[in-house]
Every structure is written in C-alpha cells, then in structure tokens.
C-alpha cells in the first residue's frame, strides 16, 4: 500500500471560526476571533493568564456557548447543531486533551477500559477486539502492554497524560483540542510527550488546536500561531515567523521574555 | 373498619403515582421521577414498592408479598400485614392465585399470567450510578442513548475476573432503547423479564423513581459477542423438592461445612412437595430431615 | 526562474524600545535559476541572513516580492508556505534545532516522512547521507542534541539534503567542518545543482564559495540609503 501524505492541501477548511465572542457580563472573555483551520494543520494559541485563550478553547470545543460568532466544522454549523449531534461529534470526530489528565480520564476504570470506552460508546461489542485495540494504542503512546489492567491512579503524571491521549485518539478523530498538554509535567517527560504528539499528528493527519503559555511547545508542535492578549488576537501567522519576527509590541515582549537555557 | 384511607395513601397521592406508572408503562425502562411520600417504614425497607402497590390495589385484589423469594421472612410478613390492615385485601402465598405480587430481589419461579402485576422493590434505580456519580450526566446519557459506559463496567469485570462477574442487578436494554437496572434480582431471573404476560412495575422510594416493563416487551441482558450472557445458578437440585431449574439458596447446616440447597421461592418449593416431588434431603415418609 | 526576488525591503520596529524603527534592507532584487548556485556576500550584519530568512518565510517582508517556484512568499498564507517548505524549498540554517530525544536517523528522515515516503525508504536515504557525512552508525539512534558542533552541523546538512528540493537555502553549510567533511558537503551541493536545484547560499569559506557558486551577490547593495 502506498503511503499517502496525510495532509493534502484541501480547499475547504476543516474548522472555520468567524467573529467569535464570549462575554461574562460586561467583561470580555474573548472577542472577535476568526481563523480557518485546514486538515493536517496545528494551530497554537498562546497568551498569558487572563488572555482569554482558555475561554476561546472551551467555546471552540463546545464546552461553552459563545455570545456571537460563527463556528463551522466540515461545513456544518456547530452552533446550530442539537446537543445530541454535538455530543456525538465530541465522541467521534473531536477529541479534547485536558491539562490535568484526571479531568480527562476515569480514574476508577482500568487503562484498557479508559481506552476502550469510546469504542464501546460507538457500538463495539467484541471484548477481544476491544482489548486488542486498546493494547495497540497503549503501545503507540509508549505504555507497556502489561499495564492495561492497572488503574490510572497507579500511573505517573506523564503516563496519565499519554493514556488520556490514547483514550482520545482511539476513535480516529480529525480534530484535537489540547489545553496545556505538557503543563505540570517534568521537563524530560514533556519532551517525550511533545515528540509523541508530533508523530501522531503527522502519522494520523490530525488537525489540532493547542492552547499553551509555553512558546517552546508551540514552536515544536504548531504550524500557525495566534497570540492573545486581554481577550483579543493581537497577532497571528506562521509559527516561526511570529516567534522570530514578531510585529506586535506584545508579541515582541512575550518572545523576549523567554528564558534561554 | 380501618381508620386509614384505602391502602394508606390519600387519593391525590395515588393519582400522582398512577400518572407516573402510566408514563413508565408508556416508555418502557425509562425512570419516571415521582414525589415519594413518607411511609411508615424507613428508606431501604421497600417504601417504593409499597407506594406502587398501594396505588395499584383495588379491594378485589389478592396480594402476595415475597422477600428473596420467601413469603415468611420478617419483611414479607410485615408488608403483607400492612396491606391487610390498610386495604383489607385478601392475601395469599400461592403465586398462581395472586393478582398483585410485591417482591424484593426475586422473580417467582411459577410463570406469571396476563392480569398479574409484579411490583419490584428497587434500592438504586440508576444502572450507571456507580460509574458516573453525577445525576446530570446520567440523565444526559439516557436522553442521548450514550451507554458506552455500561459496557465499560462489563469490560472491567472480564478484565478483572475473566468473565462478567455481575451476578445480580444485571443491566438490561428494554425495547432496544433504555438501559435499566432490574433491581437486585439474580441474573438467573433476567430471562423472565422479557416477553412476560404480566405488567412489571419498579418502585424506588428513597431515590423517588418509578419505571416499568409492559407485557410482552423485549428485554435483552447486556453482554459482549465473545462473552455472552448466561443465566447461571448453583449446579445443584433442590434438596427438598428436587427441582433442577429453580434458583437455590445455600443454607449452612452445621459448623463442619455441611450445607443444603433449597429453592429460594418458598411457594414453588412447597407446591412441588405437595405434588409429591422430593429432593435428596427430604424422605418420602414424614420421618424428618437428616 | 526558480527564485525571483524583486524590490524587497525590510524594517524592524521595536515597540518595547521606544518604538525604534530600524530599516535593514531596501530594493533587493535577485534571481536564482534552476541548477545555479548564487552566493550572498557582504560584511557581517549587512543582511545576508535576513534576506535568506525572508525567502524562507521566517521573516516578514516589508515590501516587494519573493517568488519561489511561482509562489510569492511575501504574500502567501501560512498554509501555502508550509506546503512550499515541505515540497519545494529547503533550508539549512546555521543551528540545528530539533525536538529533544528524537534519534538522529529520525531527524534526517523526517522531511521524507512528511512527504509521505515509506518509513523504510526514508530511513535508508537518511542512513546513506549520514554515512557520507561520516556520522558513525552507533550515533544514529542517539539524539543529536549531545553531539559536537561539527556533528550537529553535519546532521543538519543531512536533513537538508534528504529530499531533493528544487530550491535550497544554505546558511554557512561548511562552517565548523574539517576539510574532508567540507568536501562531502560541496559534493552534495554540486549533485543538487546537477539535478536542477536552485541554490542560494551564504559562504564565509572562500574555498567553498569559489567551488560551488556560479555568481556572487553583495547584499551591501541592498542596504537602505546605499547607492546601487
């Protein structure tokens, strides 16, 4: 079988956002955010605390409803969808990797059960097949196969995060939302996770939207970058261009503040 | 003459419960919330079942009450006396003669007929409760038919014990739509839930839910293709009546490991013995059991 | 014409330093044809790397156009630039920047894997390049982050030549290399030219420059205020 490049430059955006605004009373969570995301692209959203990036992500992923704006996925209007359809989308085509793996895992269920849940939710009914798929995915995220029956509470933070990734990717989603995926992990563990994410994005042709405050993470993972401040996008473009030739004053400040090791 | 209104509950309450029952029968397996009343017995002692029975009873009914299959345990006796006193209905121990049967944790062995109502006492009506503690989430799951988590529980059983270890309160899917907890009946009883000629009603007093399976409804026990559901029981015959197909209680008879197996359904066992059947430990002559 | 630069200009505005405006380039015009190698010369800080980074799309152009294989990088969308970098335009920078703990052979194979090449073929090509560049096989499974400067540079070059880019940008490819390895790199450049690649390079090393460059362009001609 010939190995097809997974990110053919398609004409239609996978995810199109226009004028997205979320307010909390008089306060702005995020305002007037617009972008298109194509298949195989990774978009990074950076900003400091209070920049609105987490609000934006939760509006994009359907966890909150924006006050204004349009959101369409593969040409379908997400905000007009019924809740059933949106939840089904979240279980199949979309994935959400939480910053704290405990928020994205069932701690009382074994690793195999965690990975198999999405499969069972879409109708898988053969125990042997489910277990084999779960084992395969644990291998892909570098968790030893003999840990399949262990609970996540017995795993280290890095392993929990990798398990969360496996759990999310097992149904082959096309779009992955990640909220600070390496936050809270040791530096060496972060490196391993970033490498894993890069390979999965490449091998599976995923699109991803990654929110982080860590510029090193976006440099490694993201094709494009959006910089947010006070709820607004102040700059966006090619990742290495935004980081190496920042145009906006805030971006310049952000980039120059990064400690070099 | 009783100082109570018929069957203890006032008419408005009975009307409210009947509305909930009607809704439950119209949507098989769906948990209908109802305003459960204070009953003269504590929560956990069958208040849900008692309220459903009270709402269903008419003076012409003949009531049977069993607890774990037995007519003569404390709880069965108490509830039967309660209805004798507040409703004045006839009571019976014979399954075939009853019109309303209230049960805790068993379905009678004698097949039910059209016109009979079986009322189950339910502790926790929500089958997903121990996997997903949030009521808001479980309601969404039922609403949107998101039952993957139920299979996760069965998966965990197989992973941990090599087989589905759930032996009672085994979850079922009703009419291909709602997943339901059939109350803590042994899984051996699950096949009796489906296509029954009787009306089956489930009442949970503390949790304030009523649900129902109307007659001749499809009820399927959840399983995996490669680990199919088996309604298992102890591989013995009843030591008193010799029945090989009824659910058995294990009774410890001495402190040297001695034990005997007897039908859990007392009426069923007694009927068989009256008809002349006997088991390993009951001699044909009335000279006493070993 | 593979690379066509017309009237390119660049200004840096440092918002956090009093809004200082620093013009660094104006009126840059340059062509590189397929099979040709053009060397950029000029004193340090004159703008050679800046120009190269603008062609790569790493620096934003202030004005003018940069056509690479027909696409104007100065105006292209991020998607178009990414696609260009994957297929058409290669860049060997002075510094090796890699994800930590990725093995050397994976680093070098990556451009081919991104193009959909089967993993075994990609690794085979990576292996042959690493061998030519005298990186011993026992190092291939290690991350290059622990290598010496010269070894890192050779890994960088191997990665840059893994795929036959029609346009290639080389920033000091022979720096920190001994004469044997420099010879390997120069041979690689000649082979690339022979297969039709258009190469824009910065060579401080005069020997290298004389060997592979067909033309030299002095970027001091593009300094703002300079007389052309």
Write the pLDDT tens digit of every residue in C191-227. Answer: 999 999 999 999 988 889 999 999 999 988 888 875 4
> Where does the pLDDT of residue A1 fall: very low under 50, low under 70, confident under 90, or very high at 90 and above?
very low
- Among all residues of chain A, which has the CA nearest to that of B227? A127
What is the predicted pLDDT for the residue at B286?
A: 53
For residue B32, is pLDDT > 50? yes
| Share in percent of chain A as helix, strand, coil (round to 5) | 40, 25, 35
Question: CA angle at residue C136 from C134 to C139, to 5 degrees?
Answer: 130
d(CA A165, CA A200): 10
What is the predicted pLDDT for the residue at B146?
A: 87
What is the predicted pLDDT for the residue at A87?
A: 84
Question: CA angle at residue C115 from A196 to C106, to 5 degrees?
Answer: 45
Q: Do chains B and A touch (3 or more CB pairs under 8 A)?
A: yes
List strand residue ranges (DSSP E) for C74-179, in order: 89-92, 167-171
What is the predicted pLDDT for the residue at B214?
A: 98
Side-chain-side CA neighbours of residue C190 (13 Å): 11
**Identity of the residue in A195, A241, A245 whose CB atom sits nearest the CB atom of C101:** A195
Residues of A in contact with B147 (CB under 8 A): 121
Contact A244 C53 (CB under 8 A): yes
What is the predicted pLDDT for the residue at B2?
A: 61
Distance from CA of A191 to the nearest CA of C (A): 6
pLDDT tens profile C103-161? 999 999 999 988 889 999 999 999 999 999 999 999 999 999 889 888 999 999 999 99
Whole-number average pLDDT of chain B: 93
Q: How much is the average pLDDT of C186-190?
A: 94
What is the predicted pLDDT for the residue at B211?
A: 98
**Identity of the residue in A112, A121, A131 whose CB atom sits nearest the CB atom of B148:** A121
What is the predicted pLDDT for the residue at B290?
A: 46
Q: A-B interface: how many C-beta pairs under 8 angstroms? A: 59
Contacts 24+ apart (CB under 8 A), C6-9: C6/C64, C6/C65, C6/C66, C6/C67, C7/C63, C7/C64, C7/C65, C8/C51, C8/C54, C8/C61, C8/C62, C8/C63, C8/C64, C8/C65, C8/C66, C8/C74, C8/C222, C9/C61, C9/C62, C9/C63, C9/C64, C9/C224
Q: Do chains B and C touch (3 or more CB pairs under 8 A)?
A: no
Whole-number average pLDDT of chain A: 89
pLDDT tens profile C51-108? 999 999 999 999 999 999 889 999 999 989 999 999 999 999 887 777 777 899 999 9
Contact A117 B149 (CB under 8 A): yes
C190's CB contacts (< 8 A; 6+ apart) are C212
What is the predicted pLDDT for the residue at C99?
A: 75
> Where does the pLDDT of residue A8 fall: very low under 50, low under 70, confident under 90, or very high at 90 and above?
very low
d(CA A201, CA A7): 10
Tell the burial category of C75 from Cβ atoms under 10 Å away from its Cβ (0-12, 13-18, 19+): exposed
Contact A195 C60 (CB under 8 A): no
Which pairing describes strands C63-68 and C71-72: parallel, antiparallel, or unpaired? antiparallel
What is the predicted pLDDT for the residue at A181?
A: 87
For residue A41, is pLDDT > 70? yes
User: Which neighbouring-strand residues pair with A94?
Assistant: A175
Q: Which of A59-73, A173-187, B189-203 has the highest mean pLDDT?
A: B189-203
A20's CB contacts (< 8 A; 6+ apart) are A30, A32, A33, A34, A56, A59, A60, A66, A68, A69, A70, A71
pLDDT tens profile A98-137? 999 999 999 989 999 999 998 998 889 999 999 999 999 9
Which of the residues of B are catalytic? Answer: 29, 238, 241, 263, 269
> Where does the pLDDT of residue B130 fall: very low under 50, low under 70, confident under 90, or very high at 90 and above?
confident
For residue B192, is pLDDT > 70? yes
Q: How much is the average pLDDT of B250-254?
A: 93
Residues of A in contact with B141 (CB under 8 A): none
Contact A245 C60 (CB under 8 A): yes
d(CA A85, CA A91): 10
For residue B274, the tally of other CB atoms under 10 A from its CB is: 9
Residue B11 sits at the chain A interface (C-beta within 8 Å): no
A33-62 residues touching C, CB cutoff 8 A: 38, 41
Contact C78 A224 (CB under 8 A): yes
Chains with 3 or more CB pairs closer than 8 angstroms to A?
B, C
**Identity of the residue in C60, C83, C99 whose CB atom sits nearest the CB atom of A198:** C99
- Among all residues of chain A, which has the CA nearest to that of C121? A3
What is the predicted pLDDT for the residue at A5?
A: 39
**Residue C114's Cα: distance from chain center in Å?**
18
Contact B225 A126 (CB under 8 A): yes
> Where does the pLDDT of residue A191 fall: very low under 50, low under 70, confident under 90, or very high at 90 and above?
confident
Q: How much is the average pLDDT of B74-90?
A: 95
Write the ipTM. Answer: 0.87
Q: How much is the average pLDDT of A86-94?
A: 87
Q: How much is the average pLDDT of A85-92?
A: 86
Residue C33 sits at the chain A interface (C-beta within 8 Å): no
Local structure of residue B241 (DSSP, 8 states): T
Residue A10 sits at the chain C interface (C-beta within 8 Å): no
- Express as a percent the part of chain A with pLDDT over 90: 62
């Amino acid at each position: 079988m010939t190995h097809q490049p997974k990110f053919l430059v398609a004409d239609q955006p996978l995810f199109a956002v226009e004028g997205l605004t979320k307010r909390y009373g008089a306060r702005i969570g995020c305002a007037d955010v617009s972008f298109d995301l194509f298949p195989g692209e990774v978009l990074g959203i950076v900003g400091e605390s209070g920049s609105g990036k987490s609000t934006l992500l939760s509006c994009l992923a359907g966890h909150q409803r924006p006050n204004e704006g349009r959101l369409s996925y593969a040409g379908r209007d997400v905000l007009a969808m019924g809740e059933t359809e949106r939840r089904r989308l979240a279980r199949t085509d979309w994935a959400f990797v939480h910053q704290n793996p405990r928020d994205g895992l069932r701690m009382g269920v074994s690793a195999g059960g965690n990975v198999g849940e999405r499969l069972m939710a879409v109708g898988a009914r053969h125990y042997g097949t489910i277990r084999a798929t779960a084992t395969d995915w644990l291998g892909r995220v570098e968790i030893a196969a003999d840990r399949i029956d262990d609970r996540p509470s017995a795993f280290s933070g890095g392993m929990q995060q990798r398990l969360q990734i496996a759990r999310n990717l097992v149904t082959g989603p096309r779009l992955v939302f990640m909220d600070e995926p390496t936050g809270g992990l040791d530096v060496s563990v972060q490196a391993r996770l970033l490498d894993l994410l890069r390979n999965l994005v490449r091998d599976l042709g995923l699109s991803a939207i990654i929110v982080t405050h860590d510029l090193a993470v976006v440099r490694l993972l993201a094709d494009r970058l959006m910089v947010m401040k006070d709820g607004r996008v102040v700059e966006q473009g090619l990742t290495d261009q935004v980081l190496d030739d920042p145009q906006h004053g805030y971006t310049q400040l952000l980039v120059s503040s990064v400690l070099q090791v | 003459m009783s100082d109570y209104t018929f069957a203890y509950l006032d008419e408005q309450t009975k009307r409210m419960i009947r509305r909930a029952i009607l809704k439950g029968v119209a949507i098989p397996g769906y948990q209908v919330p109802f305003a459960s009343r204070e009953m003269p017995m504590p929560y956990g002692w069958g208040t849900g079942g008692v309220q459903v029975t009270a709402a269903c009873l008419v003076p012409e009914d003949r009531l049977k009450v069993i607890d774990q299959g037995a007519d003569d345990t404390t709880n069965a006796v108490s509830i039967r006396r309660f209805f004798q006193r507040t409703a004045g209905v006839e009571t019976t121990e014979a399954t075939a003669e009853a019109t309303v049967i209230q049960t805790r944790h068993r379905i009678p062995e004698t097949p039910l007929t059209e016109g009979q109502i079986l009322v189950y006492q339910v502790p926790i009506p929500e089958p997903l409760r121990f996997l997903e503690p949030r009521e808001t989430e479980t309601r969404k799951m039922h609403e949107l038919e998101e039952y993957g988590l139920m299979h996760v529980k069965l998966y965990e059983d197989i992973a941990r014990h090599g087989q589905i270890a759930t032996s009672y309160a085994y979850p079922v899917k009703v009419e291909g739509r709602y997943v339901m907890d059939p109350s803590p009946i042994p899984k051996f009883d699950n096949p009796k839930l489906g296509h029954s000629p009787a009306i089956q009603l489930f009442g949970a007093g503390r949790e304030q839910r009523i649900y129902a399976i109307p007659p001749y409804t499809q009820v399927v026990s959840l399983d995996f293709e490669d680990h199919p559901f088996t309604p298992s029981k102890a591989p013995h015959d009843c030591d008193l009546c010799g029945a090989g197909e009824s659910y058995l209680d294990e009774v410890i008879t001495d402190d040297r490991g001695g034990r005997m197996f007897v039908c859990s359904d007392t009426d069923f066992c007694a009927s068989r013995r009256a008809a002349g059947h006997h088991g390993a430990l009951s001699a044909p002559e009335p000279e006493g059991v070993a | 014409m593979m690379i066509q630069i017309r009237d390119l200009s660049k200004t840096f505005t440092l918002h956090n330093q009093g809004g200082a405006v620093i013009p660094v380039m104006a009126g840059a015009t340059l062509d590189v044809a397929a099979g040709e190698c053009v060397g950029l010369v000029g004193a340090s800080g004159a703008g050679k790397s800046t120009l190269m980074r603008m062609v790569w799309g790493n620096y934003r152009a202030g004005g003018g156009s940069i056509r690479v294989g027909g696409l104007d990088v100065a105006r292209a969308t991020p998607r178009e630039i990414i696609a260009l970098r994957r297929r058409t335009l290669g860049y060997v920078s002075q510094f090796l920047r890699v994800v930590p703990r990725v093995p050397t052979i994976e680093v070098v194979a990556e451009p081919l894997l991104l193009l959909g090449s089967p993993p075994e073929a990609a690794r085979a090509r990576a292996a042959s390049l690493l061998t030519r560049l005298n990186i011993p096989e026992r190092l291939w499974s290690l991350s290059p982050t622990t290598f010496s400067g010269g070894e890192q540079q050779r890994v960088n070059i191997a990665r840059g030549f893994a795929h036959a880019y029609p346009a290639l940008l080389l920033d000091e490819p022979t720096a920190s290399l001994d004469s044997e390895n420099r010879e390997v790199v120069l041979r690689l450049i000649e082979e690339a030219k022979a297969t039709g690649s258009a190469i824009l390079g910065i060579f401080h090393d005069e020997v290298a420059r004389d060997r592979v460059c067909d033309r030299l362009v002095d970027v001091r001609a593009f300094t703002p205020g300079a007389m052309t």
